[in-house]
Amino acid sequence: MLKYQTKITTIMDLIKLLTITVISITSFGLTTTEAQCLSGDCKNGKGTFKYYDGVYEGQWKNGEWEGKGTYTLDNSFTYVGTFTNGLLTGSGTMTYTDGSVLAGNFVDGKLNGNGKFTNKDRGFYFDGTFNSSSFVTGKGIIPFGEDKYTGELLDGKVNGNGIYNYANGKKLEGEFRNGSIYNGKGFLVMANMTFEGEFKDGRYSGYGILTIISGSDKKQFEGIFKDGNPWSGTGFLKFNDFDYYNGSISDGKYNGQGELKIISQNTKILKGFFKDGNLVNGWGHVVINDITIESEISGGKFNGKGTASDSKGNRFSGTFVDGMFSNGTYTGHNGYKYTGGFKDNKPNGQGTIYYKDGYKYIGNVSYGQRWGDGTLYNSSGTKVYEGHWGSDKPTGTYNQSSSYWSNDNSYDDFDEYDEYDEYDY
């Protein structure tokens, strides 16, 4: 089965929910030349005290806030509730200047236990348990920029049933686990891609549209997904920054017309008709170890016109049959050139060998060697030897001093291609 994506990127790996830290204030240490008791008993009883940046009105004990009271911090918040030992501890309500309201049980200036948070202007609401003024477990409406989540939270994360609404009108609805959609349907935004469709067990499942985004360019795959992988459909799939497939898929494999480009490992670019994941008919650019092949493909093998070259400078251009050189021209890095038939990727049959200083051999060749009847010509076109050859040497009368009777000017194999007479895609 085609492996594509098995893990869905979470909406929020860990929701960084609003943490409201309330300043713990006592009546000690804030007194300045401007601080004064405006009315009442600011030691033991009920009184109003003005600080340089706020006002407290309520009950006092031994010079500290104790019992019910109201404290307003200029340009920040107003707390109405219970105070203990000069701290905001007990049941209370804190209203911020931006319209946010915290209500519940405070401990040392922070909301702990059951409570509520609201901000009508932002559409923010949460009802549940808090830990140090952070959301823990409950239900709410939580904005994320222009987007909004409505639903359940557990352990400070999106957990349970909910709806994530995007500013563009799209939404993601269903069961969430640890900030990620687990079962449901809708629209999911990820890095450089989006998915709109169905989810099961935390993976794409069922009908969906996967969109790959690169700048202003968008490419899509539309079809059926199974266990997070494309199962059937048509479109564009990007595997990483380099590799992609664009075409038809069925039964979790490349099937039908398509183009596959893989360059992150051994390079291959395949275009044409695929069956069960293999290119059956079309064209391919494939790198096998040190050999680069560009050829027509039929029957799942290199068949038809094509080329092969290696890093040493050797090159074949001609016809492939069942993945092997059949007929064509080989040009070697050492000046050796051959035109004719091939067998097992070596010159074989009737052919012509050209040497770098102008000599030429026309005749029979066996596995890269002159063997059988053939004629050797010098650079002027004069016949040097005509007759029978064996082991790359004349078997008749010839000039013993000529270097052309040796193997020094022979065919240089494509060393590693012999192992790939049939390429498995």
Total-model pTM: 0.66
Q: Which pair of structure tokens corresponds to residue 194?
A: 């989006």
206-210, 391-395, 398-402, 413-417 — which is least confidently predicted? 413-417
Q: How far apart are CA 85 and CA 96, in angstroms?
A: 23
- Given a contact cutoff of 8 angstroms between Cβ atoms, the answer to whether 268 and 262 are in contact is yes
Phi, psi of 417 (to 5 degrees): -80, -25
Bridge pairing between strands 337-343 and 101-107: unpaired
Is 305 part of a structural domain of the chain?
A: yes
Average pLDDT, the chain: 84
Work out the pLDDT band at 157, boundaries 50, 70, 90. confident
Residue 403, pLDDT score: 57
Report the alpha-carbon angle 384-390-395, nearest 5: 55
Residue 411 domain flag: yes
Confidence check: pLDDT of 201 > 70: yes
- Compute the average pLDDT of residues 150-176: 91
SS3 177: strand
**How many other CB atoms sit within 10 Å of the CB of residue 119?**
18
* Inside any domain, residue 369: yes
Q: Is 76 exposed, middle or buried (0-12, 13-18, 19+ CB in 10 A)?
A: middle
Instruction: Give pLDDT, residue 401.
Output: 55
- Measured CA to CA in angstroms, residue 142 lies from 69, 147, 152, 243, 388 at distances of 31, 9, 10, 38, 92
- Give the list of residues 6+ apart from residue 405 with CB closer than 8 angstroms, or none: 392, 393, 394, 398, 399
Confidence of residue 399 (pLDDT cuts 50, 70, 90): low
Residue 11 lies in a domain: no
Residues 78-135: tens digit of each pLDDT = 999 999 988 889 999 999 998 899 999 999 888 899 999 998 888 889 999 999 888 8
Within a domain: residue 267? no
Residues contacting residue 29 through CB under 8 Å, at least 6 positions apart: none
Return the higher-pLDDT residue of 16 and 360: 360
The answer to whether position 330 is within a domain reads: yes
**What does the pLDDT read at residue 145?**
85
* Residues 51-61 pLDDT 10s: 989 999 999 99
pLDDT higher than 90, residue 268? no
Q: Which amino acid is it at 44?
A: N
Q: Helix, strand, or coil here: 32?
A: coil
Residue 107 exposed, middle or buried by CB count within 10 Å (0-12, 13-18, 19+): middle
Tokens 């209370």 correspond to 92
Tens of pLDDT, residue by residue over 231-252, are 999 999 988 878 899 999 999 9
The confidence score (pLDDT) of residue 393 equals 86
Domain that holds residue 358: 301-420
What is the spatial distance between Cα 21 and Cα 6, in angstroms, rounded to a whole number? Answer: 39
Count CB-CB contacts under 10 A for residue 190.
Answer: 15
* Confidence at residue 407, expressed as pLDDT on a 0 to 100 scale: 46
Sign of CA dihedral 404, 406, 408, 410: positive
Termini Cα distance of the chain? 14
The predicted-structure confidence for 276-316, as pLDDT tens digits, reads as follows 988 899 999 998 878 899 999 998 899 999 999 988 889 99
Buried b (16+ CB within 10 A) or exposed e, 155-167: ebbbbbebbbbbe
Q: What is the total count of domains within the chain? A: 1
**Which pLDDT score, from 0 to 100, does residue 418 have?**
46
Is 196:184 a contact under the CB 8 Å cutoff? no
Q: What is the pLDDT of residue 230?
A: 92
Question: CATH number for the domain including 400?
Answer: 2.20.110
Residue 255 pLDDT greater than 90, yes or no: yes
Q: Within a domain: residue 175?
A: no
Q: Please determine, for residue 262, whether its predicted confidence score (pLDDT) is greater than 50.
A: yes
Residue 316 maps to a domain: yes
What is the percent of the chain where pLDDT is above 90? 56
Collapse the DSSP code of 117 into the 3-class scheme (helix H, G, I; strand E, B; otherwise coil) and give the result: strand
pLDDT of amino acid 368? 87
Q: How would residue 180 be classed by pLDDT, with cut points 50, 70 and 90?
A: confident
**pLDDT surpassing 70 at residue 185:** yes
